[in-house]
Amino acid sequence: MNEVLKRVPALCEAVDVAIIGAGIAGSSLAKALADRGRSVLLIDRKGFPRHKVCGEFLSPESIGILSELGFASALKSLEPAEIRAARIHAFGSAPLYIRLPGVAWGLSRFALDEALHREARMAGVEVATGTTVSSMRREAEGCSLNILRGGEAITVRARAVIGAWGGGGRLSVLTGAQRRNKPASSPYLGVKMHFTGIEARDEVELYFFDGGYLGLSPASNGIVNAAALLDRRTVRDAPTVVQGWLELARSRSQALDLRLSGALPVSGTHAAIAPVRLYARPVPWDGIPLVGDACATIPPLCGDGMSMALRAAQLCAMSAERYLCGELSLQEWEEAYARAIRSEFSGPLRWGNLLQRAAGRPLLARTALSAARCMPALGRRLVQATRLGPPSRA
């Protein structure tokens, strides 16, 4: 049996909280609850660390939340690259340069997840990766989880269960119940790969072209991360590998092709995800509370998905603690958490979706960039409109 699972309380006992999904939101939430003295089991069906498409740009807002959650020192020790500006190229127009409202960090997701798990363990979280939750059953005092690890079945009981499984997971698989919120199909694909051989600037660079966009950002140690969001409807003969999609992006932007001249891919750093769902409304609760991409996603071009995942973890930790203390009923917990998510996320999501739609229209994108070059304050205001404000209390 896995060493982590050996330390889970005996089957007749119960953990306070089980979190399904050990990404950024799940790991942060787990540590936040453990810091409050709660027993927490963090579960993920995949192994860690591993490369992922998203999460290598930490906005100033993300860094602030990570600091509040107690992660800043651990992440600083990884020597993240500092990012101070954004440079936007759209459909052949002159680039727009925008200073960020603070210093952002560029950091490999491989290193980031490893650091978050290490800090969570130090806080007392039981981290069980490579472990599958096969089913969940509600009980009078919480939930019973059936867990599979290496062919062995284990039962764990939790007073509360929280979903942090990203945009593709769903509770109905675990319970057999009908899903409350059914996602629409999406043609969008996300891909990423690390490169060497090109200058790692203190900027995040966005290149918009017919069928999507690609971002370049430093990821520490001279590595540049290339991540793209692509619309498969614009491709007649779709590539079958990540590098093929990146070459397609390069062929559609002269500025990007020039920038990647001499770039060398770093073996083993490629990743892809599909579908990427844009414009979806937040789903803070679907039978259980949800955090991270399972709850809400802002278009990647805004660069603030990480802070939204982290803020959801903060809000859920606050309301979960009130529930565990008996201050809130389960229904009141759902209402309080959903209210906090709507209050904090509605504005940034509205503006983020508006910018995403504009970015896909060449004439509109060129006009917006021209206006922002003439009126720099406009560009800064649009960036700020997609950012989170100070946290509320769930």
pLDDT at residue 367 above 90? Answer: no
The answer to whether the beta carbons of residues 114 and 78 sit under 8 Å apart is: no
Q: Supply the pLDDT for residue 363.
A: 73
Burial letters 296-320, b for 16+ CB under 10 A, else e: bbbbbbbbbbbbbbbbbbbbbbbbb
142-148 long-range contacts, CB within 8 A, separation 24+: 142/14, 143/18, 145/18, 145/43, 147/5, 147/43
Q: Supply the pLDDT for residue 11.
A: 31
The answer to whether the beta carbons of residues 106 and 81 sit under 8 Å apart is: yes
pLDDT at residue 2 above 60? Answer: no
Q: Which residues contact 370 (CB under 8 A, 6 or more apart)?
A: 93
pLDDT at residue 102 above 60? Answer: yes
Report the percentage of the chain scoring pLDDT > 90.
61
Q: Supply the pLDDT for residue 150.
A: 76
Spell out the SS3 assignment of the chain: CCHHHHCCCCCCCEEEEEEECCCHHHHHHHHHHHHCCCCEEEEECCCCCCCCCCCCEECHHHHHHHHHCCCHHHHHCCCCEEEEEEEEEECCCCCEEEEEEEEEEECCHHHHHHHHHHHHHHCCCEEEECCEEEEEEEECCEEEEEEEECCEEEEEEEEEEEECCCCCCCCHHHHCCCCCCCCCCCCEEEEEEEEECCCCCCEEEEEEECCEEEEEEECCCCCEEEEEEEEHHHCCCCCCCHHHHHHHHHHCCHHHHHHCCCCEECCCCCEEECCCCCCCCCCCECCCEECHHHCCCCCHHHCCHHHHHHHHHHHHHHHHHHHHCCCCCHHHHHHHHHHHHHHHHHHHHHHHHHHHHHHCCHHHHHHHHHHHHHCHHHHHHHHHHCCCCCCCCC
Instruction: Tally Cβ neighbours within 10 Å of residue 261.
Output: 10
pTM: 0.89
Q: Supply the pLDDT for residue 177.
A: 56
Instruction: Tally Cβ neighbours within 10 Å of residue 173.
Output: 14
- Burial (CB count within 10 angstroms: exposed 0-12, middle 13-18, buried 19+), residue 383: buried
The answer to whether the beta carbons of residues 276 and 167 sit under 8 Å apart is: yes
Q: Supply the pLDDT for residue 371.
A: 74
Q: Supply the pLDDT for residue 1.
A: 41
Residue of 39, 37, 101, 62 whose CA lies nearest to 314: 62
Whole-angstrom Cα distance, residue 176 to residue 88?
46
Whole-angstrom Cα distance, residue 367 to residue 338?
37
pLDDT tens per residue, range 175-208: 655 555 566 678 899 999 999 999 989 999 999 9
Q: Supply the pLDDT for residue 10.
A: 36
Mean pLDDT of all residues belonging to the chain:
87
CATH code that applies to domain 3-50+111-177+285-355? 3.50.50.60
pLDDT tens per residue, range 11-55: 336 899 999 999 999 999 999 999 999 999 999 999 998 999 888
End-to-end CA distance of the chain: 38
Whole-angstrom Cα distance, residue 96 to residue 98?
7
Q: Supply the pLDDT for residue 391.
A: 60
Whole-angstrom Cα distance, residue 211 to residue 53?
18
Whole-angstrom Cα distance, residue 37 to residue 124?
9
pLDDT tens per residue, range 117-153: 999 999 999 999 999 999 999 998 899 999 998 778 8
Q: Supply the pLDDT for residue 32.
A: 98
pLDDT at residue 92 above 60? Answer: yes
Q: Supply the pLDDT for residue 175.
A: 62
Q: What integer is the mean pLDDT of 202-217?
A: 94
pLDDT tens per residue, range 257-302: 999 999 999 999 999 998 888 878 899 999 999 999 999 888 787 7
Q: What integer is the mean pLDDT of 93-98?
A: 87
- Strands 14-20, 40-44: pairing kind: parallel
Split at pLDDT 50, 70, 90, the class of 94 is: confident
